[in-house]
Chain A
Amino acid sequence: MSIDLQTVKKIASLSRISVSEAEAEAMVPELNNILGWVEQLGEVDVTGVEPMTAVIPNHLRLRDDAVTDGDVRDKVLANAPQAEHGFFAVPKVIE
């Protein structure tokens, strides 16, 4: 399976990365090389094998239902490119 220029532009859009026409064209062979190479996994017989999600047996813990954090609004906002009135500010979303 090989990907074309349209697909690269679609992946870029899904990834929220703007790419120029030239960049997208340069990525077509690069991504095809990598994807062509990983396709070898298709030949492995995985009948009856469960997908692995955790490498070391562990279980998700529950913690006490208690407030352990918070009241740090200014710290949370400290690195925001734009913060106003105690909120993150973004370009207008609704006309």
Chain B
Amino acid sequence: MTNLTDLTVAEIRDGFRAGDFSAREVAEGFNANVAAAKALNAFIVETPEKALEAADAADKAKAAGETLGALAGVPIGMKDLFCTQGVQTTAASHMLEGFVPTYESTVSAKLWAAGAGMLGKLNLDQFAMGSSNETSYFGNVISPWRRKDGGNAALAPGGSSGGSSSAISARLCPAATGTDTGGSIRQPAAFTGISGIKPTYGRCSRWGVVAFASSLDQAGPMARTVRDNAILLETMSGFDPKDSTSLDLAVPQWEAGLSSDLKGKKVGIPKEYRPDGLNEEISAMWDRGIAWLKDAGAEVVDVSLPHTKYALATYYIIAPAEASSNLARYDGVRYGQRDLPDGAGLQDMYAATRAAGFGPEVKRRIMIGTYVLSAGFYDAYYTQAQKVRALISRDFELAFEKCDLLLTPTAPSAAFALGEKQADPLAMYLNDVFTVPASLAGLPAMAVPGGLDSAGLPIGLQIIGKALDEQTVLNASLALEERAGFNARPDKWW
């Protein structure tokens, strides 16, 4: 019999509808995998009862001949940045430990309304700040992948959506939600050999998602196939009056529109993404990707994005500035932790609460943000960064006069070992070098696995598209997926 936990979202959806298996069997299978994978630390809270409840509802609806939701019978993981009514939501911080929302985020509500069930809340970098899932208050997430050197070093699953990437590649869930501020869906997807798409800024509502940097934050799906991402994204997207930056546009039928025929499409190859010293295996994978897209009928053109080298510095001014403002809400008064030293006044309570509730990376970013927004420095740092951001965005506009999409690597290396880059925050920030520019420009971008490197670890490719053109991004990613034929999976050790 087929192992139900090896199935994709599309296979579960279709098999459930065809009566090949019940939704309960699927939920029980994934619940068992989750329960047996504590060593990965991918979940902060497990909710097997929620998964079963949704499965039973799906089975009942099917038996009664009722119309089934788009995700009926499909259990998923929910990144613990999405507020879930009645289920602890922490953003992987001590600050929000014990916080039980009295409301549901728009994106998660849409998924449950479509029939999906929740397997649990997935671990992440604290307040989504990190690229290795090492800043979580609830401990590191471990990647299910290991180097083929016999050393068994624990590897980073990427971040910030590291619980999502680890859980999907280990078959603890067929798909999960992620959020992407500077690469937090795409880089973890690349590290673990799965796919993930950050849609155009404004496609998915930010309402009920714990805020990091509001002008950059976008939710998106993560799964093993491009089709599964299309299915989830259709459900997650859509106008929400509760988010002032939500786009009031109809949601395209991305799954129905999938086609890997790229005839007539021009693919731009930005030369600035091949800096001196780029990892040779990443560079070779990029060349293979170019050949695959040509094989799919696309024409390849060279393009230039001249301000690329300033993207990271721009990001590390704008994101901390917005974070310092967003995280001002954690004051020990309305929700979350409170630390009240003996005899302390209100101001002392704020400072003690925030000292105890935030981890080192979060404090670092709040302080950087506070500094660049402070009187006397605002124009030199923040306004300047906003202007450079405009130039980075214009680079993409000019490039898209010559092409329909861009192909680049997703991350500058395969997964690194936990602890390897922790000593130097700057070295960690460089992980986002290929993902941050599209975030600054609000463009849709997707990571797909391309193959394994010489150490046996997945490396990925990234497609960046024009604003609102998720369809071309998905289609080009599908063309890569079909040609890469990536079917490697981590050997089970956990």
Contact = CB atoms under 8 A, between A and B. Distances in A.
Nearest to B244: A60
A92 B345 CA distance: 7
A56 to B, nearest CB: 5
B341 to A, nearest CB: 9
B201 interface: yes
Among B241, B351, B441, the most chain A Cβ lie within 10 Å of the Cβ of B351
A55 B100 CA distance: 33
A81 B333 contact: yes
Interface stretch (B45-53, B222-230, B363-371): B363-371
Interface in B334-386: 334-338, 340, 344-352, 354-355, 358, 363-364, 366-368, 370-372, 374, 380-381, 383-386
B456 to A, nearest CB: 33
B241 A61 contact: yes
A17 B215 CA distance: 24
Given A37-B426, A44-B310, A61 B336 contact: no
B307 A93 contact: no
A54 B352 contact: no
Interface size class of A (residues with CB under 8 A): 35 or more
Interface string B459-474: 0000000010000000
A55 B392 CA distance: 11
A87 to B, nearest CB: 11
Contact of B100 (A30, A41, A78, A90): A78
Contacts of B337: 81
15 contacts: A3-B371, A11-B371, A12-B367, A17-B351, A31-B368, A34-B364, A44-B387, A51-B387, A51-B389, A53-B386, A55-B440, A61-B244, A80-B333, A91-B340, A93-B345
Interface of A: 3, 7-8, 11-19, 27, 30-31, 33-35, 37-38, 40-42, 44, 46, 49-56, 58, 60-61, 63, 72, 75-76, 78-82, 88, 90-93
Given A34-B364, A41-B313, 17 more contacts: A15-B324, A17-B363, A17-B367, A33-B425, A35-B368, A38-B385, A40-B313, A41-B317, A44-B307, A51-B386, A52-B386, A55-B442, A56-B202, A58-B245, A63-B241, A72-B102, A79-B102
Interface of B: 99-103, 200-202, 215, 241, 244-245, 247-248, 307, 310, 313-314, 316-317, 324, 328, 331-338, 340, 344-352, 354-355, 358, 363-364, 366-368, 370-372, 374, 380-381, 383-391, 393, 425-426, 440-442, 467
